[in-house]
Amino acid sequence: MADAGAQEFRQMRPIAAPGVQEKAPAPEGAKEVPRIRLLDRKAVEKAMQMLVDSWNTQGMANHLLETFYDKSRLMDVLEGKIPRDARLRLLAVRSFRILNQYLKPASDGDLLISSVSVTARTQVEWNHPVQGFQRYPGEQVYILRITQKVIP
Amino acid sequence: MSRHPQLSPLLWIPLLIFIFLCAKAAAEEPLLDWSISGQNSVRYEYYSVQGDPAGGTYSETGNQYYDELDVQFSRRLSQYESVQGYLAGLYNASAYRSRYTGISMESMNFTWEKGDGNLPFRASFGDIFSFTSLRTLQRSLKGFHVDLQPRFDRSGRSHSMVFFSGAGKDVYRDLDLDEELYTGGSWLIKDQALGSYTINLVQNHRTGNTETNMPSRDQIVTSIAGEKRFNLLEQKLTFEGEIGYFRGDHDSTGTSQLNKTDPAYFAQLKGRSESPLDYRFRFEHYGRDYRPNGATITPDRRSLEAHGSWRFAKGLTLRGRLQQFLDGMESDNTTRTKVAGLNLNGPILNEKIAGLTTSLDAFLQDADNQDRTTDNKTRSVNLNLGLPLGQWAGNLTIVNRNVQDRTNQGITTRTSETRLRASHAVSLLGFMGSATPGLVARRIRGNNSDSDEFGISLAVNLAMNNHSCNLEYSLLNQDRRISGTANDINQNMVLSYAYERGPHRFGLEADYQGSDPEPGNEARSYRFGIFYSFRFSKPAGTRFAQAFSPLSGGVEEAEPASGLLSAPALGLPLNKVIENLARRGILGGLVKPNVVVYDTRILDEIDQRQRLALLYESGKVTGTALIVEFEDVGSPRTAAQTFEVVRRAVLERLGPPSRVYEKGEFTANFAVEVNNGRFVRNMEWDTEKGVARFGIPRRLDRQVRMELQFRENFPPRSQSLWSIEEVR
């Protein structure tokens, strides 16, 4: 996932300085967080579970940003080559850390948008007609954008 | 799993500093100006596999537990200077949580930002995320990162010079910088008129391994990239490009390849105009030896892509794509893949079937290589339909896939699948939520994998106050039709319960997976888990002891709710609703007889003027409304686009409507036709307290605008004068 814009190289993250008007790259109307807010592990686990549950379904496209590299190719490979009964299991969320955060005003309070780097252990599972149950565990790094409602 | 209970003395240092600071803070309050927050989570899990271990879900069984502590801290020293950071430590005895047992410092970061000096800078130490471009480096590192932003001139041109160095490891334990070290720099120039440009350089070193006979490897990748936005023939265009060059060693092909060089090229043109058409053309070329270790791309590939999308007037979007990929393009056996795809998404046929939404994805793929070891054609159709049926929200998915292997084996595999799910609200022992039963039927033919499969599922989500619980169950019967293959019955069940009160969160989880192949051995896998987490938070200016008092604020999952524009506001005392609005920063309502009007932005993605209206009688709210203005009703194209943007925003919040009524098209006389009743846009949703209606109502003052209203009931649909006349 690239940063806030669709650009495929890094964007300016302006440092607050006298006379500098430029804002960090973020959607229009977004505002900076006064300080990075702690992200609950359960929220990260829930976001990861949502992504993992959508694996090998068309719904996974909804969870990938338009800027996700080779998105359509990934979806085509899943659709064309993976057994239909294959599923991805989330074995554990390992470490995670916040890459950046910003607030987005919404109708009923601010939304806290956090980009998070998550290391997770997952396992692909399916039943081979001859060889029986198959499991392929692995560890990957995911970059998630998690949206939460800020309680006043 | 490595078993090293010791922690390197070097890595104890940050932890000891933190403990010292906490102790000092408790005694003297020197951290009064610091914001400190954190969370401690402890989790115990028990895994078990009964029956055939090879058929079990879990490779590691028995007791698994861990405790982790995350702490964040920050301090603002001035308007232009701040420091912040975090520490994340782990005590681990779980094979799933980490490769290491015992105490580990998983991540830490300290960042100092100062903008009021001669040279504004941001310096980070510890865990850094280095992103220069997709073709050079994008990954987490453990090291340092400095961003210098000199102001060479006042012409509006910005500069950012980044320097970094770090190891590509996920924990600090056994950290060996030589094992995989990235060092680099990037100079980014952003000019208001000329666009953004960057020069990147990344060096990577990996140490040799005498056991595997792998030599030490070094590589350098350089690139220049840029983006320019411009207008041409009423088209708003964005051109982006990058040229990269790789020099050095890699072993991505399984053996070490030394002293290699290869280039990379990328170009993309994106365009849009006032019409509903968006498009982009994309070209990528990566040489066989263009293999930067931290890049995202696929080497030895050339791709050409054309994408386009068209937004129809009623919220339907059609996307199309044509793609060609040449993989292994510099080898003797290039694989060529051609893809044509279509995607249709949004409300459809609503004149005949109110509330019907669709997501159709179809593609044709033709892939072959030169020696014909690969020659296949894939056809895939994936149709998803959503429809409200009374109190149910139904969902039907139909998948059809045909893979034709045209090599000498000549095998064709056909898969068809139908899924049906429907959700219904449920209420049980004070818990409220939803239940979603489902069915799946699948038929697979060809490639010696003939199978008929049938499954059922049930998902129940319930919540009450601070309690929440979920149940998921599924059963899949796989009836294999080829001799020598195994039938199988699979069952999956997940149960979870969570309780949250203030800073405390407690939960229980249980999983079961059962597999009963015939012929074969049965396997049953279980997982039981229990967790507790505790959060603390000390804002700047408060005493450290207050960090452990009950938290007054926090965050929760964002829901696609209608927010203030919701039926639950109906019937509430007006002053209470006004107080709620004030707490959310919506102030300055103009109080009139029977209505209070706020000039405020409710749909944050809409730029047009918005007003929130509270209708009231006898001190109670009888209706809420969002009023959105058109910018220009004289231009049918602009009006149609504005309406679709707002309608899409409303649909995202309220879901598929219960009823839709539309008449007429956006024309140059659109405003006149609204007022003579020839043009109607009207959608309704049934809610627990009344009805939501969105559309363009007729008004006595002939003003044309969009309104979303929540009321207990509305005038009949034939009565088009349903606007709030009091708000002009």
Arithmetic mean of pLDDT, B458-468: 85
Q: Which of residues 543-572 of B touch A (CB under 8 A)?
A: 553-559, 561-565
E strand intervals along B483-608? 488-501, 504-515, 523-538, 554-557, 590-592, 595-599
Contact B361 A152 (CB under 8 A): no
Nearest CA in chain A to B539: A35
Q: Which of B58-62, B150-154, B231-235, B282-286 has the highest mean pLDDT?
A: B282-286
Q: What is the mean pLDDT of residues B585-605?
A: 70
Domain end among B556, B577, B597: B556
- Rounded Cα gap, residues B677 and B722, in angstroms: 12
CB within 8 Å: B37 and A37: yes
pLDDT of residue B474: 94
Whether residue A152 and residue B38 make contact (CB cut-off 8 A), yes or no, is: no
Higher pLDDT, B317 or B672: B317
Helix (H) or strand (E) holding B11: helix B9-28
Task: Say which range, A80-84, B37-41, B414-418, has the weakest mean pLDDT.
Answer: A80-84
Task: Decide if pLDDT at A51 tops 90.
Answer: yes
Residues B642 and B706 in one domain: yes
pLDDT at B245 over 80: yes
Residues of A in Cβ contact (< 8 Å) with B147: 13, 15
The yes-or-no verdict on residue B202 having pLDDT over 90 is yes
The total number of structural domains that make up chain B? 2
Which residues of chain B neighbour A38 with C-beta distances below 8 Å? Answer: 37-39, 70, 72, 535, 537
A vs B, Cβ pairs < 8 A, gives 256
| Chain A: closest CA distance from residue B554 (Å) | 5
Beta bridge partners of B425: B434
Distance from CA of B76 to the nearest CA of A (A): 9
Judged against a pLDDT cut of 90, whether residue A5 lies above it is answered with: no
In whole angstroms, give the CA distance from residue B253 to residue A77.
21
Find, among B550, B584, B591, the residue nearest to B564 by Cα.
B584
Q: Do the Cβ atoms of A2 and B134 come within 8 Å?
A: yes
pLDDT above 50 for B718? yes
B518 pLDDT higher than 90 = no
User: For residue B417, is it within any domain?
Assistant: no
Contacting residues of B for A64, CB less than 8 Å apart:
none
- Assess whether B705 and B572 both reside in one domain: yes
Is residue A126 scored above 60 in pLDDT? yes
Mark whether B574 and B706 lie in a shared domain.
yes
Domain interval for residue B11: 1-104+497-556
* Average pLDDT along chain A: 82
Contacts of B341 in chain A (CB under 8 A): 72, 76
Q: Are the C-beta atoms of B567 and B690 separated by less than 8 Å? A: yes
Q: What's residue B559's pLDDT?
A: 37
Euclidean distance between CA atoms B667 and B672, whole angstroms: 10
In a domain, B87, yes or no: yes
pLDDT band at B562 (very low <50, low <70, confident <90, very high): very low
User: Do residues B571 and B707 share a domain?
Assistant: yes
Token pair in block for residue B664: 């007429």
pLDDT tens per residue across span B116-173:
888 999 999 998 888 999 999 988 889 999 999 988 766 778 899 999 999 988 778 8
pLDDT at A6 over 90: no
All residues of chain A having their beta carbon less than 8 Å from the beta carbon of residue B151 are: 17
HEC string of B443-494 equals EEECCCCCEEEEEEEEEEEEEECCEEEEEEEEEEEEEECCCCCCEEEEEEEE
- Residue B281 forms part of a structural domain: no
Strands of the B590-592 sheet, one edge to the other:
B590-592, B595-599, B610-617, B620-629, B705-711, B691-695, B680-686, B659-663
In whole angstroms, how far apart are CA B21 and each of A131, B31, B172, B645? 57, 8, 22, 52
Share of chain B above pLDDT 70, in %: 86
Are B532 and B626 members of one domain? Answer: no
Top-confidence residue, B398 or B721: B398
Give chain B's mean pLDDT: 83
Report the DSSP beta bridge partners of residue B596.
B591, B614
Q: What is the pLDDT of residue A96?
A: 87
Contact A10 B382 (CB under 8 A): no
Is position B264 within any domain? Answer: no
B572 and B604 fall within a common domain: yes
Which DSSP helix (H) or strand (E) runs through B25? helix B9-28
Between B13 and B541, name the one with better pLDDT: B541
Burial class (CB in 10 A: 0-12, 13-18, 19+), B344: middle
Tell me, what's the pLDDT at A28? 55
Mean pLDDT within B300-314: 89
Q: Which of residues 291-310 of B touch A (CB under 8 A)?
A: 296-298
Helix (H, G, I), strand (E, B) or coil at B1: coil
Higher pLDDT, B710 or B20: B710
Return the minimum-mean-pLDDT range out of B208-222, B387-401, B478-492, B641-655: B641-655
Average pLDDT over residues A95-100: 85
Q: Does a structural domain hold residue B687?
A: yes
Instruction: Give the pLDDT confidence score for residue B557 in this predicted structure.
Output: 46
Q: Are residues B510 and B629 in the same domain?
A: no
In the block, residue with structure tokens 């969009």:
B706
Same domain, residue pair B604 and B551 = no
**Which residue of chain B comes nearest to A140, CA vs CA?**
B170
Q: Are residues B634 and B552 in the same domain?
A: no
Contact B250, B289 (CB under 8 A): yes
Residues B703 and B571 occupy one common structural domain: yes
Residue pair B606/B645 in contact by the 8 Å Cβ criterion: yes
**Residues from chain B contacting residue A80 (CB–CB below 8 Å):** 365, 378, 380, 401, 403
Q: How far is the CA of B469 from the CAs of A5, A9, B432, B456, in angstroms? A: 38, 43, 10, 21
Same domain, B575 and B698: yes
Q: In this model, does residue B461 exceed pLDDT 60?
A: yes
Contact between chains at A14 and B485 (C-beta distance less than 8 A): no
pLDDT of residue B541: 74
Residue B471 lies in a domain: no
Query: What is the average pLDDT across B82-92?
Result: 90
3-state helix, strand, coil in chain A (%, to 5): 20, 40, 40
User: Does B612 or A6 have the greater pLDDT score?
Assistant: B612
Please indicate, yes or no, if residue B654 is contained in any of the structural domains: yes
pLDDT in tens, B10-29: 455 556 666 666 666 656 66
CA-based nearest distance A121→chain B, Å? 7
B88 vs A contacts (CB less than 8 Å): 95, 97
What is the reported pTM? 0.72
The first and second tokens of residue A40, run together, are 């609950």
Q: How confident is the model at residue B615 (pLDDT cuts 50, 70, 90)?
A: confident
Structure tokens at B496: 């979870």
State whether B528 and B635 are in the same domain.
Answer: no
Q: Which of B543, B462, B529, B466 is closest to B503 using CA atoms?
A: B466
The rounded percent of chain B whose pLDDT value lies above 90 is: 33
Is residue B682 in some structural domain? yes
Quick one: pLDDT at residue B607? 67
Lowest model confidence (mean pLDDT) among B90-99, B217-226, B601-610, B685-694? B601-610
- Number of neighbours of residue B516 by Cβ within 10 angstroms: 18
- A60 within 8 A of A73, measured Cβ to Cβ: no
